Amino acid sequence: MNRAGLWGLLGALIVESAFTQVIDFEDGQWQDLSHPYSEETLYWPTSDTFHKETVFEGHTEGGWYYTAYSFTTAEHGGTHIDAPIHFFEGRKTVDQLAVSQLIGPAIVIDVRAAVSQNPDYQVSARDLELWEALHGPIPGGSIVLINTGFAQRWPDAAAYLGTAERGESAVPLLHFPGLQELGARLLVERGIKAVGLDTASIDYGQSRDFISHRVLFEANIPAFENLADLSAIPATGSFVVAMPMKIENGSGAPLRVAAFVPAD
């Protein structure tokens, strides 16, 4: 079957989870929710950063053009996934996460207004309940994305992280929004697949106990961090595909995330 025939077959996909959603992939747009990896990529202040080296670039002796590079990166930097093992012993590593847990219907919790007044804002259970009052219960089997608006600050470290300093001394200077503990517990109760947001951590910058990581990861719910601009993704109706590098026994990995937004 050629590509056109395959897309015709998949043109209308029925997604089965705790609810049924029909996705028409022939009528809508894909939105890339990943930042590219480069020397500008932002990392936790204590992590190694991204480095790319040229192995070969140019024309070979045989006359054809050829390029190859090598790179090094920490697991947790840029747009990446936190596997549950990252903060809870005995839980899933990156390679143990089923593909079915990394794709599916998505919802967006928009807290940009609150964050504009407080960069240390924590998304609470109340925020989630207000969303439910407008859109209905958060569906089990969904991927929850949190739009804080911080993606607009990338890659300015001082604006995005709260500090451009690096090393252990920079950690107390971090300021960015995240998910509050009771919000994390409500998402666990709702039976979601994964949660993602456009900041450097699912816990806010001033966290010292990383409780939201621990709550989510105990339930084997992974987190997508440093997502790119979520402003084009509606509150309901989109479909997310999040494919990390499959690192054996990894606690995290670089992540390519895309969301399909059906036409109105």
Q: Residue 243's CB: how many other CB atoms inside 10 A?
A: 16
Q: Please enumerate in sequence order all residues whose Cβ is within 8 A of that of 88, keeping only pairs 6 or more positions apart, or say none.
A: 214, 217, 218
Q: Residue 224's CB: how many other CB atoms inside 10 A?
A: 27
**How far is 153 from 117, CA to CA, in rounded Å?**
15
How far apart are the two ends of the chain, measured CA to CA in Å?
30
For 29, 80, 128, 215, the CA distances from 135, given in Å and listed in that order, are: 22, 28, 10, 25
Strands (E), 135-215: 143-147, 178-179, 194-197
- Note if 86 is an active site residue: yes
Q: Which of 59, 86, 135, 213 is catalytic?
A: 86
The C-alpha angle 247, 212, 231, rounded to 5 degrees, equals 80
Q: Which residues pair with 144 in a beta bridge?
A: 107, 195
For 178, 189, 203, 213, 215, the CA distances from 210, given in Å and listed in that order, are: 10, 19, 6, 6, 9
β-bridge pairing 238-244 and 194-197: unpaired
Q: What residues are labeled active site?
A: 86
